[in-house]
A and B are shown apart, each in its own frame.
Chain A
Amino acid sequence: QSALTQPASVSGSPGQSITISCTGTSSDVGGYNYVSWYQQNPGKAPKLMIYDVNNRPSGVSNRFSGSKSGNTASLTISGLQGEDEADYYCSSYTSSSTPNWVFGGGTKLTVL
């Protein structure tokens, strides 16, 4: 069982927008603005898409955006494209015991 809760799958048609939620606790998502999101294609390493809740690294499309409310963070992808089909993982820094990072179980995005 993962520390953060994500839906197992989401889907959308090209051009639509989708949102993936990531629910934690006040010890992780709710307690810090250190939520990040990763895209992983089959057999590949994860790629950082969003960091510190709502910041995009250089080179990441502005179709990707992040937000947070309380203990739940969200990743929104607008103008869906076929290349967005992948697994997405959220992650949060936590210091509930010792400093460490927790991940969500991952969400499979299908572009219909």
Chain B
Amino acid sequence: QVQLVESGGGVVQPGGSLRLSCAASGFTFNNYGMHWVRQAPGKGLEWVSFIRYDGSNKYYADSVKGRFTISGDNSKNTLYLQMNSLRPEDTAVYYCAKARGQLERRPFDYWGQGTLVTVSS
């Protein structure tokens, strides 16, 4: 069965950096696109970033463009999100989600349990 397990969250000061990981199993990792989606405490869902199955294209929400970088390691079946220049408004639970297909227009069919990122001094 598909499993996605995020890690790497924690408390970081404004301006700091953090790298999130998402370990995937139960499917052929390099056959599917992958997303990051976040949810601020008590708020709704916000799409953050997407990487195509072959890493050829990466897309970002305007709110994180230039600060966050998505990547994948097919040898480790792991998705990453490098987050730099963090702001208090980046505080959220970050979910990785498998795309229902290879390309960016496919929805999120499996989600991890999420990892909490808190940006505070």
Contacts and interface: CB of A to CB of B under 8 A. Distances in A.
A46 B44 contact: no
Interface in B29-43: 35, 37
Interface string A42-56: 000111100110000
A38 B95 contact: no
Please tell me the size bucket of the interface on A: 20 to 34
Contacts of B100: 48, 51
B59 A99 contact: yes
A61 B62 CA distance: 36
Contacts, number: 66
B107 A46 contact: no
Please tell me the size bucket of the interface on B: 20 to 34
Contact of A57 (B61, B104, B109): B109
A57 B112 CA distance: 17
Contact of B111 (A46, A97, A101): A46
A89 interface: yes
B27 interface: no
Interface of B: 35, 37, 44-47, 50, 59-62, 95, 100, 104-114
